[in-house]
Each structure stands twice: as C-alpha cells, then as structure tokens.
Structure 1
C-alpha cells in the first residue's frame, strides 16, 4: 500500500502519528467555515445578544464534548469512524455509516463549491453563466490538498487560520463600532422567532457530521489527550467564533455572510481573500472525509482515486443547486448523523470495555442488529423530537445499544484468538 494513502482500511501506524499542533491546526481549519455563520445569522435575528451568547456557548460545548469523545476512541484505537462502524454495525452493516457520512460530507462539499463560485462571481461582477465553469474549476482545485493528504491540509492551515482569524476579528470590531458598541448590540430587537432547542440544534447541527468524522484526523494523534484537547479547543473556539460572528453580523447588518459584510465595510479585497482561504481550508478536509467513507464502502485502498470520484460527484450536486438547501440540510444532519456516534461510543465502552481488538483479529458478523436497531431508534427519536435533536439522537442510541447489549450478550460474542 502507498504510505501516502494514510491507511484508509487499517489502524493508523505509529509512524503516521502527530502532535497537538498539527492535529489542532487541521481541526481549526475544519471548523473555520463560513457556512456555520449562516446558522449563526439565523440565530442572530431571533434572540437578544445575551441569549445568543448562551446558545453559542452551550451548543458548541456540547458539540466539543461529542467530538472529543470520538476523538479519544479514535486516538486509542487508531481507527476512524467508518472503521469503528464494523464493530458496532457489522462488516456489511457498516456500509450504513459509510453512506450516511459520505452523503453528509458530499453535501457540504457541494454547498461550499457552489458558494465560492457564486459569491466570487458576484464580487467581481461576472455574468451568471460563469457560475458553472467556476464550480468545476474550484471543485477540482479543492481536491488538490486532499490528494496530498494530512500534510497538505496542515500546511494550508498554517497560512489560512491566522489570516482568517485576524480578518474576522477586524470585521467584528468594525461592526461593533458601527452599531454603537455593546449598548447598541444589546438594544437590537429580534425580528424572527426560534425556540431555544431549535437554535442549539442548529449550532450542534452545523458540525454534527464533521464532529462524527473528526476521527479521520484524531486517529493520527500521538495520544488520546492530544486528540481530546485538540477537539475541545478547535470546536469551542473555532466553531464557536464562527457561530457568534454570524449572529453578530446579522444583528448589525441583517447579513450573516462575512464576505458580504466585508464588502459592506468597504473591504472587497479582504472579502475575496477570506472567501477563498476559508472555503479552501474546509473543502480539503471535507472531500478527504468523503474519500475515507468511499474507501470503506467499496473496501478500496485507493484513497486518491476516491477523492477524484467524490469531487466529481460534489461538482454535479453543486451545479444541480445544493446552494439553496443549507438550513434544511443542517437540520437533517443534526438528526441522522449524531446517533452514529452514540452507537459507536456505547459499543466501545459498554461492549469492548474501552479497548477494541485489532481489526484483523476479530471475526465480525455481517450485520450487528443491536447496533443497527439502536441507530434506527436514535435517528427516529432525534428527527421527531421537539427538543435538541442531536443530543436526543446520541443519548437514545447510546441507551438502546447498552440495554440491548445487556439483554442479548451472547449474540454479540464475535471474537476469536489473534490471527498468527
């Protein structure tokens, strides 16, 4: 196997393990996503500023804990989410998680590709006919860093993260000054309505699928402590800042898009830089995630080939209009993706007592019906819940798996002695 394919079907070897800074940089680049600001914008026009701070803090803290829980397991085991799926769903049943996670990340990739093409065309006043060629160009361009692998993502992050952070803080400062400081922010009245639970679901849902697939990088951490802290810091600060910034801009300008805001502030060049850097840093990890799920779905080691195939599919979705479906897509992901993580966490701690066997040393059934049943119940409960859907999905899936596993333990005994 090519070493640069980064072990898509096996445990991550020690030679590929990384320290805190490389892992955190890639996770920061993953969470610094302008799409998250749109969710923040919806929250910004529906609540007062104090409530927005609480929603952002609670939503991102819960999201960070969820990501860190999976990050810890992946660092210990060296496995990513789709490989863990073999233990809790079975050899063939794990294709469910492959499909769901691939679909989620492919949707994000299509949305980001369309967003960059459409937004850039607007900024530099290109005819609408340019949108499709730009989608093709950017979709293929985004795949370059994913083809290089972790190193490509890390090097891009070292340049993009500090620059985006400074641009974002500068824009927030100008917005706060324009609205009249803290007094002005607190005096703006909500113009729309959302329930508190829906708002937290949107915050959690912005990266529910991303947090579930954070294991593609945390499995490369040298220790579980590095993985946990990288998740906590990147999600609380990175994702939290993007949600809060979107809400902030919506309060001041009734516009959550940082690119549009920078243009309103007379910073068009900065807007173009922010747009390109931001989407490039998220699109590389996103299509990398799709390729990881695709490799496991078809049991192929050819990750780079899967990157290119996934990029083409993402471009097609972008051309077909994925740009218009962000909020419904977020709410759907908030219901159907987190229960996967709930089942994985329960399987690891309840059934395997905090230690997986080596993947090649276990005889696994084609279908683990307990895991599949737990996921189904969790996803249905999350989708129909009036409360915080992602939290409901994780909690229900975890509980159902633990209960069924205690009732039918013999049906879950699928181990053998280590293969010589």
Structure 2
C-alpha cells in the first residue's frame, strides 16, 4: 500500500483470508459508502441498547430526554467517526493499528482486551436468545434452552466466518425490517398516552443526574465502537468512513435509545421484545430478537476473530472465530448472561482510552502515511503510559461518579499522548543537536 493510505506493502498474490485480518485492505477490495453504512447501522440497531433508553425515559421530561440522547450520541458518534477515519486511511483493524501506537508486544494488550470482552458479550447474547426464546415458547427444560443456544451460535459463527459480505447481507435484510417493526411499536406506544402531545405531558417518575444519563448513552456502544475500524477499513475514503460511522453510531444508536425510552414511558418496559410480548405478538417478538441479535453477534464474532489473528500473528481469522464462538457458547451454557454484564461494563471503562491513544498517535505521527516496511518497537512506553493515565482517569471518574467516565478516559488519553509525544520530539531534537555539535567540533 502506498504511503498515503499507508500501512505497509501489499502482497500481489491472493490473500489467504479475503477479509485481510492482519494486513491492509487493498484498494481493489474496498467497498461503497452504502455498503459501509448498512454494515455499521446493522451493528448499532441492537435491541439491548433500548434497555439504556428504558433507564433514561422515566427520569426526564421528553424535551430534556432528547437533549441528553443528542449530547451522548454526539460524543459517541464523534469518537467513533475519528477512529473510523483512521481505519479507512490505514486499511487496518483496531488491533493491528495498535501495533504502531503501543509497539508489537504492547498491541497484545489491545487484542486481549478487545477480543476477550467480545467473547464475553457473545456468550451473553447467545444465552439471552436461549432464555427468551424458551420463555416465549413455554419450554422449561434446560435441554431446550441449550439446543437453541448451540443452534443460534452455529449460525452466527458461520456468518462471521463468511466475513464482511456475510454481515452485509444479514444487515441489509434484517435492519430495515427491525426498524419498521420498531417504528410500528412506537406508534402503538403513543396510542397508550394519546399521541405525541400526551407523551410531552408525561411527568418524570424517577431521577437521574445529567452526567450519569450522558454516560449511559455513551457507554452503550463506546467499547464496541472502538472496533469500528474493523469495518471502516473497507471504506474507499476517510470521509465515507466518517459519514457511515455517524449514521450508525449517532443516528442508529440514538434511535434505539429513544425507542427504548418511549417504551419505558408508555408501557413501563424498555425492551421492545417484551413490549411485543405484552401486546400478544410473541412471534414478532422472537423474530425481532433473533434477527437483531444474529447480526450483532456475527459482528462480535468477527471482532474477536480478527483480534485472535493479530494476537497469534496468523493470516486467517476463521480459526479464531470458531474457537471464540465455542468458548462463548460454553459460557452461555453455564449461565454467563446472568453474571458477566457488570464485569464487562467494568472492562468497558478501560477500552475507550485505547481508541483515544490510537487517534492521537495517528494524527501526530502517521497521518501522512506509514512508510513501507516501517518497524515498530516491542513496547511504546510513552503511549502505554498515556493509556494507563486515561484508564485511571476513567476508573476514578466512575468510582467518584463525577463526569462522563468514557469521555474522560478518552480525553485524558489523547492529552497524555500529545504531551508525551512532545517529550519524544524534544528528546529527539536534543539528540540531533548534540550529534550536529559533535560533528562540528
């Protein structure tokens, strides 16, 4: 690849894996803007996101609720769009870009964090499908739930193994249907409160601080959004990636939160699947659940597949997609969906600063392109320190319930990267001056 799009040379021979998990995506394999937008919108139209909206809905008047959702979605969309831009310019996944920011060895931290959390989420989603489908069908036996989990996991795993194309077609078919169904339920919800005017008149029944509310919106997808380059690297230009990310993470994610909030305000329930159950539409509820989580979990499997390829430095993602899916399914069969969510939320605090370092480091050092054959150090201690500072700030913010922890982690990581890079440049400049002085004598 040229230095302009830059992340090193591209082999002329046909790649082992058509999704290029550890090498730059060549220009001939790049996708259209529509393709990117469909995949990213399908990624964020995710029914569990509505649970975040359900927590917000009863706590605010409707006008204030819209402002909170807009603020959080702008923060999330901007962060992901910047990362998506870097992904399109380099043609690399998040974990491979981490090699240039954290060093060849340091990038393994990114692979473990991003891949490990995704395996956990995969298990949570597979387990959730098994539990809710069995509940809808009235099946009480563990064997029935286990069979559902295994069957759906196989389907999701196969979609992820098929790669970008598989996720595109699943998103293209299921996302419009899910959105139409969601809008229809919103209409039914408005009937419960005598229309939009009735919704505007509903008084809050709970309380929530605005920083906590914005954190809830940002936190819905900030960890998954850190892996947006896994898909935007297929973009033909950086601007295409930016707009596709804004459509997915600002509009798509924001709408799902809004839908969940409306469901909570009108029905006292933010999960549209359960709203459909309450309306007596069990079949549609199962359809919404399965179609939505199928495409989202295929994205999850893809993410831990490319993370595994980087971690073990292999050219193919498929073995790691399969291995991670098996592990995630085993976690689901043990009931991980009932215990892991808080743990994954804690890890989510430590993931956004990774993206902050990568964004800042790329604009500081690599925006003109990574020279062909560019070697990286084993560990970039400055950027690892910047990441540690960002993570510490996010954790402290969360513990003290001050500010928006994901945003604080990202901002501190960016500022620390800039400051430590300046010390890197000053030291390099001093060394250069010393060599010139020695030569002059």
* TM-score when normalising by structure 2: 0.89
User: 1:194 Cα deviation (Å)?
Assistant: 2.3
Match of 2:140 among 120, 123, 127: 127
Give the SS at the match of 2:59.
coil
User: 1:144 Cα deviation (Å)?
Assistant: 1.2
Partner of 1:86: 99
The yes-or-no answer on 1:391 pairing with 2:407 is yes
Partner of 1:159: 173
User: 1:311 Cα deviation (Å)?
Assistant: 0.3
Partner of 1:9: 22
Alpha carbons 2:24, 2:92 under 8 Å: kept: yes
- Cα 1:37–1:273 change in 2 (3 A) is same
Partner of 2:369: 356
**Structure 1 stretches of 5 or more lacking a match?**
414-420
Alpha carbons 1:378, 1:392 under 8 Å: kept: yes
For residues 7-406 of structure 1, the aligned pairs below 5 Å read: 7-129=20-142, 130-325=144-339, 328-329=342-343, 331-352=345-366, 354-358=367-371, 361-385=373-397, 386-406=402-422
Point out the more displaced range, 132-141 or 95-104. 132-141
Alpha carbons 1:348, 1:356 under 8 Å: kept: no
- Cα 1:251–1:322 change in 2 (3 A) is farther
Give the SS at the match of 2:48.
helix
Alpha carbons 1:39, 1:327 under 8 Å: kept: no
Give the SS at the match of 2:207.
coil
1:196-217 Cα deviation digits (max 9, x unpaired) = 1111112111111221101011
Rounded Cα–Cα distance in structure 2 between residues aligned with 1:275 and 1:295: 30
1:63-105 Cα deviation digits (max 9, x unpaired) = 1111110111111111111011001100000011111111222
User: 1:154 Cα deviation (Å)?
Assistant: 0.9
Alpha carbons 2:120, 2:344 under 8 Å: kept: no
State which structure, 1 or 2, has the greater radius of gyration over its C-alpha atoms.
2
1:173-209 Cα deviation digits (max 9, x unpaired) = 0001112222332333333332211111121111112
Rounded Cα–Cα distance in structure 2 between residues aligned with 1:15 and 1:3: 16
- Cα 1:241–1:9 change in 2 (3 A) is same
Rounded Cα–Cα distance in structure 1 between residues aligned with 2:109 and 2:208: 32
Point out the more displaced range, 175-184 or 217-226. 175-184
User: 1:378 Cα deviation (Å)?
Assistant: 0.3
Partner of 2:9: none
Alpha carbons 1:108, 1:286 under 8 Å: kept: yes
Rounded Cα–Cα distance in structure 2 between residues aligned with 1:268 and 1:355: 54
State how many pairs are aligned: 411
Rounded Cα–Cα distance in structure 1 between residues aligned with 2:100 and 2:92: 11
User: 1:334 Cα deviation (Å)?
Assistant: 4.3
Alpha carbons 1:202, 1:331 under 8 Å: kept: no
Rounded Cα–Cα distance in structure 1 between residues aligned with 2:36 and 2:25: 14
Rounded Cα–Cα distance in structure 2 between residues aligned with 1:135 and 1:2: 33
User: 1:251 Cα deviation (Å)?
Assistant: 1.0
Rounded Cα–Cα distance in structure 1 between residues aligned with 2:149 and 2:389: 38
Rounded Cα–Cα distance in structure 1 between residues aligned with 2:310 and 2:365: 23
Rounded Cα–Cα distance in structure 1 between residues aligned with 2:368 and 2:343: 35
- Cα 1:319–1:8 change in 2 (3 A) is same
Give the SS at the match of 1:72.
helix
Give the SS at the match of 1:209.
helix
1:320-367 Cα deviation digits (max 9, x unpaired) = 333235763564254211101110011011233x13315x61121110
Rounded Cα–Cα distance in structure 2 between residues aligned with 1:159 and 1:89: 39
User: 1:136 Cα deviation (Å)?
Assistant: 2.0
Rounded Cα–Cα distance in structure 2 between residues aligned with 1:59 and 1:270: 30
